[in-house]
Amino acid sequence: MTLHDFLFGAFIYLTAAAISVPVAKRLGLGSVLGYLIAGILIGPYVLGLTSGDDVLHFAEFGVVMMLFIIGLELRPSLLWMMRQSILGLGGMQVVLTAFFIFAAGLSFSLNWREALAVGLILSLSSTAIVLQTLRERGVMRSEPGQNAFSVLLFQDISVIPMLAMLPLLTVPDFWMGININEANASHSMIDNLPAWQRAPLVLGALVSIIVAGRYVLRPAFRYIAESRIREAFTAAALLIVVAIALLMETVGLSPALGTFVAGVMLADSEYRVELEMDIEPFKGLLLGLFFMSVGASVNFALIAADPLLIAGLVVGLIVIKLFVLYLLGRVFRMQVNSSLMFACFLAQGSEFAFVLFSFATQNVVLTQELANKLIAVVAVSMALTPLLLIAYDKLIARRLQAAPEEPEYDEIENGETPAIIVGYGRFGMTVGRLLAANGIGFTVLEHDPSQIELLRKFGWSVYYGDASRPDLLHAAGAEEAKLLVIALDDRDQILSVADAAQKHFPHLKIFARAYDRRHAFELMNAGIENVYRETFGTSLEMGKDALHALGFRAYKAHRLAQKFRTHDEQSLREMAKLIDDEEALITETHKAQELAERLMREDRQSAPDMDDTDWKAPPPELRERG
């Protein structure tokens, strides 16, 4: 491929995406369907601008990245909280759906190996379509949304044993007369090794990923993060995904398997959120390219040759899935409307089906002709999902009109916290400890790797990342949070975070740490109402105690300090307007000091001493005179 061909292909794909995806979203069809439509339009059966096959394998790397991010989300606490729905609901869905499709396959004269392979592959649903649809509809935290997410988690995990199982279903003639290397056309370096030598190598590759994820990658990320170069961290994140995918390809396993395992190993890392945010743009772009290439590679000539068969298979797949999912929803005590919505979300085929069908043909489990028809069925079922949900909204949801159910709070324990603290050093930690002592949860974002390591030793849950990035704030739960505490020690970074939060999350109430008086002026002029000078409270407390030590009663010292605080905060807001006029600022500072002295003098002269035994009197030799 020449540079001109590459640039022209990129131009075609990006143009199609830029036109089709916004139109599809505006029509309520979702971005994934927009990508599929774009691929169909530029494919060989409409405009003939691309075949889809030329970038399909490259675009499949988007699926690999998606599994890495899914692994990052699988924290042990989340898995334990959702164990019943993941193992019970998800496991039963895969087993029952595979069984019914297996039985249907036998009735179509498939042999039992083919029927089983087809049943397993078609039992999966599209993670990309469903998760995006849940987010777009704002129902991720609803009962149907939570259960759909649980099923998808189990399905994504089940891809791994399916990849291991499919080669075992190879037809007998394959073993007798076909060379495995020719059938697979693989680049694996262990193809020529006997099975007893392959197994230890494959196991060793998996163990090495687990060990590296737990004991090597975290210190490596800490070292890279200390450089404070964002590009280096992004490059390291991509390096991990590429290196693990290459290792899995070398030992003849799915790259998705290795990256998934690595993601799980890093799920409890303080760098998890930053990794996710760095990988996300590449994953999104490659997944979009993947769906476009899928749309371009749909064989419309094959569909046109036997439209009734393809249509019947599509309807059969959707009906079987709707039946199984609705039945399981009722078994797991979901209401009728929730069960129907849950079923509609998951009634399509999966993007992993394209990979698994290709893998099955390489291992001579399925014929290429059968796989091509089933790929067309999966693609059509995916394209019909938004339409199925629109039909549910218009024909079913309005009629049922069921009252919203009370949430089962024990299943939403990992919801977003009400507060986010950015910077957890000597300033932010005090705020966090007070919130924690009063039962208020919060998410901590920290940019200092050494501080993160220290805090983790004391048991604090802290994540590494640059909080001036809107995507990182979003991942930390800024959409649902009420309060953002900016307690960083970098005055410019504080302003950057405050600016990002105001622009993208205007509902957040922002409490910002000010380095000094001038920094407070800058924050106030930027629209931050709640500004806290980092030494003002402590120095005022010391001044109050100094008054008491010099002969003032404790109550009077306290009252004078509070009056001084009120006056100083008022004058601070007035002076903030003069930050660019140094001469006027100096003049106003002198006026404010004179006013403070007059207020304090008037208070001492007008307010009698309080005879309150709860207040400690000063030493006799320092009692105030006059």
C-alpha distance from residue 389 to each of 137, 332, 386 (Å): 11, 22, 5
With a cut of 60, say whether residue 546 has pLDDT above it: yes
Q: Alpha-carbon distance 262 to 271, whole Å?
A: 13
Which residues does 83 contact at the CB level (< 8 Å), separation at least 6? none
DSSP 249-264: HHTTS-HHHHHHHHHH
Q: Alpha-carbon distance 248 to 255, whole Å?
A: 5
- pLDDT tens-place string over residues 194-227: 555 656 776 777 778 778 777 787 778 778 877 7
Q: What angle separates helix 307-331 from helix 91-107, to the nearest 10 degrees?
A: 150
Report the pLDDT value the prediction gives residue 40, as an integer from 0 to 100. Answer: 82
The two tokens of residue 199 are 């197994």
With a cut of 50, say whether residue 27 has pLDDT above it: yes
Give the count of alpha carbons within 13 A of 85, CB side only: 24
Q: Which residue has the tokens 């008086």?
A: 517
Report the pLDDT value the prediction gives residue 321, as an integer from 0 to 100. Answer: 94
Map out the domains of the chain with their CATH numbers: 3-400 (1.20.1530.20), 416-534 (3.40.50.720), 535-626 (no CATH)
With a cut of 90, say whether residue 317 has pLDDT above it: yes
More confident residue, 416 or 359: 359
Share of the chain above pLDDT 70, in %: 79
Global confidence as pTM = 0.58
- pLDDT tens-place string over residues 261-287: 777 777 777 777 777 777 777 777 777
